[in-house]
Structure 1
């Protein structure tokens, strides 16, 4: 079971013009379809296409300098390491991200735009008396995943503002990390309650709901939420070679530009994504980075049109396995993980359609795992399996934070720490465990303030 969101140039596709050359020269609000220009339900696809396009930009990035959450979360954690000299990204890799960081402002804005566009699209379906339309279900799930990504990757205190039909801003109140996940669950619940929801839409909302429940530490509820999701379910964000805006952003910044490569045991605590030679993380060991230094090239996204998985049956099984771990059922957890490792459908889902000639993924290397002797060992095994199955899909930062928040592990033993080294660049890792709110959000009068300064870089707190 599989579905896609195609990256669209929403404004270009949505509204046609008559063959009047004079009208072609009269342009207002370039690149924007104003709500007041949409007068009936025939234009609802405009809003949905815009939301889908904005989410693709925010999630997997583009070829136009939009990093996307999959890139930036991987760079912040132990998935990618920088092999260029871009100072603002260097700070991300070293976990020393300031609210003034110019790169981070654009990434935050992209995700904010995706969230707002999805909620606006959902509202338009209600406005035009189509609350049960399939498009509204898609819009609600996009909004749910947007809130989830904010909760997993950013500090506590993200504000969610709205823009009315007259372009007037209603400034939102900052939400805590838990509140963001609660907002996500509310969106998924709304989608699941709509009559006529398709099987794949239901599975997508179920996996999203399970993911947010896991983030809240409601492990059994999370497992129950995804219990019926089939292993063959997969919902992908589709990229394209049609335009740079539609390129896969991970391919762009790794393969096309060489900005960062696959990390290996980064900062001492990072996983061995290279030396493990695990077929779930294919790479080219001989590749060079932007600085012409060694930079193992990820091959999970080997082409500009490579697809990015948003949710699938594999993630559902991993959620079930974690609930078993929390119940102390180490044998059950291991059985679930081993069934997943041996499942031909799961393996097929991790084979890129356009893997370069000469590169192969040897899934016979995924031999059965032994039952861990202790709960700590079982925890480490579960999170390692999650890291390799979900590599490069903006799950790793949320998982590392959960190891600190839910499993009481010190951040210094989870995140890359100590001395930083990458192709001759040296430094020291910071203590950040999430991404800050950009200083631009200081314009929101609801942002917490002390005098004229924004405390905690605009966050309520920087805790995991």
Structure 2
């Protein structure tokens, strides 16, 4: 029997103590080995691309790519929102300087919100490429899913070209080691996007419902790229026959996450629907801005408070909100309205005013549902009579049909590049309601973190 002395120490013979020490050492070694085993255990929820050896694993990688794709549309604070903030769709009612400086068109290169948005766009490309490689090797019959991966990749490339400055780097995150991106002009990025979307179309040639959905989605995205590259006739041809009722959507749920356009706008009130007059007293004129809030347009219902009862996140701004989206509302990544608007612009460019006006009035006569809103029929438009006024009317109509779906900033840049407008008569101008004046930014900068890339020395230029 082991006895304890008055100090609580064991009086067991020493030879037994030596055996205990050895046992203790063996126990420590066993624990270390067990810990190593725990640390090395495979997480069944994570599938590395290099470990994709089954058809099921390839599909899982593709599903992960789709989740990342959702993050650059409505599942996260994306350039759909920040592009609209830099343009005229939204105004800031946030406490965050990142939002304020974007709305003021004076964006700093180290803007942390844009850093996250840029990373997610890059990740869509990387993860789509990983999924394409896995699917082609292990599920070559999943042609519609492969097409969707090309859609995700091409869409991200199109959004980069539409929203960011010239000189945006595009690398290869799947190379070993990863290859640093080489800066590309916006037009070079649009060409890259066109190639991705064209590749997708070669897979989206089946007659099943998913293949048809992907074919239409790719054609709409590809036509948007064609517009950006100045191929108006080609854009119109691409979307011919796409039904107006068609929509490719990203969806949301309690498990998959909520609609961030709703979350940032209506729920958190960090974004206020943009208008041509600002300030709580509604006395600060914003030149060039479409009066999204005060237009009382059927496509965009807006609640505009006249007191501080609905203050923004900043506690000061009387926030203008819209019920266009709910917590779990799906967002249209591409739809038939996009197709009709592309056809209308192609007709306008070709000088076919009758067709251009007819397309717009057909949409106004039977408006499709927009988010949670089913607009009532609207009065027919009349020809304003001049080319310049027709262009203005076309892009105004498009702005309401596509509100906060990631198109407005790119369209404003196109108005300058392709239609002879100037920055001064296109982007918001004048006194900003949070102080100072609007700056000169017309796109988002590639952020400071990218300067770790030895090929990147900053935006080539900040031109439209």
TM-score for the superposition, normalised by structure 1: 0.84
Which residue, 205, 212, 217 being the options, matches 2:230?
Answer: 217
Equivalent position of 2:28 in the other structure: none
Residue 362 to residue 112, structure 1, CA distance change in 2 (3 Å): closer
Equivalent position of 1:293 in the other structure: 317
Unaligned runs of 5+ in 2: 1-35, 278-285
Residue 173 to residue 165, structure 1, CA distance change in 2 (3 Å): closer
Residue 32 to residue 333, structure 1, CA distance change in 2 (3 Å): same
Q: What pairs with 1:415-426 in structure 2 (closer than 5 Å)?
A: 415-421=427-433, 425-426=434-435
Q: Tell whether 2:398 aligns with 1:389.
A: no
* C-alpha contact 2:299 2:375 (8 A) present in aligned 1: no
Which shows bigger deviation, 324-333 or 282-291?
282-291
Q: Secondary structure at the match of 2:332?
A: strand
CA separation in 2, counterparts of 1:120 and 1:255? Answer: 36
Which shows bigger deviation, 120-129 or 197-206?
120-129
Equivalent position of 2:282 in the other structure: none
Shift of residue 36, structure 1, vs aligned partner? 2.2
CA separation in 2, counterparts of 1:113 and 1:59? Answer: 13
Q: Secondary structure at the match of 1:56?
A: helix
CA separation in 2, counterparts of 1:160 and 1:262? Answer: 33
CA separation in 2, counterparts of 1:183 and 1:163? Answer: 16
Shift of residue 460, structure 1, vs aligned partner? 1.7
CA deviation map 1:335-380 (0-9, x unaligned) = 111011112xxx232251xx6xxxxx6524x100001210001000
Q: Tell whether 2:379 aligns with 1:331.
A: no
CA separation in 2, counterparts of 1:164 and 1:271? Answer: 42
Q: Secondary structure at the match of 1:142?
A: helix
Shift of residue 150, structure 1, vs aligned partner? 0.5
Residue 35 to residue 351, structure 1, CA distance change in 2 (3 Å): closer
Q: Secondary structure at the match of 2:435?
A: strand
CA separation in 2, counterparts of 1:292 and 1:342? Answer: 40
Q: Secondary structure at the match of 1:171?
A: strand
* C-alpha contact 1:35 1:165 (8 A) present in aligned 2: no
CA separation in 1, counterparts of 2:184 and 2:340? Answer: 30
Q: Secondary structure at the match of 1:135?
A: helix
TM-score for the superposition, normalised by structure 2: 0.84
Shift of residue 26, structure 1, vs aligned partner? 5.2
The aligned length equals 413
CA separation in 2, counterparts of 1:117 and 1:410? Answer: 38
Which residue, 431, 438, 462 being the options, matches 2:440?
Answer: 431
Q: Tell whether 2:461 aligns with 1:461.
A: yes
CA separation in 2, counterparts of 1:274 and 1:390? Answer: 15
CA deviation map 1:380-433 (0-9, x unaligned) = 010001100000101000000000110110111101112111xxx212111111
Q: Secondary structure at the match of 2:294?
A: coil
Q: Secondary structure at the match of 1:75?
A: helix
* Larger Rg, first or second structure (1 or 2): 2
* C-alpha contact 2:331 2:371 (8 A) present in aligned 1: no
Shift of residue 28, structure 1, vs aligned partner? 6.5
CA separation in 2, counterparts of 1:405 and 1:165? Answer: 35
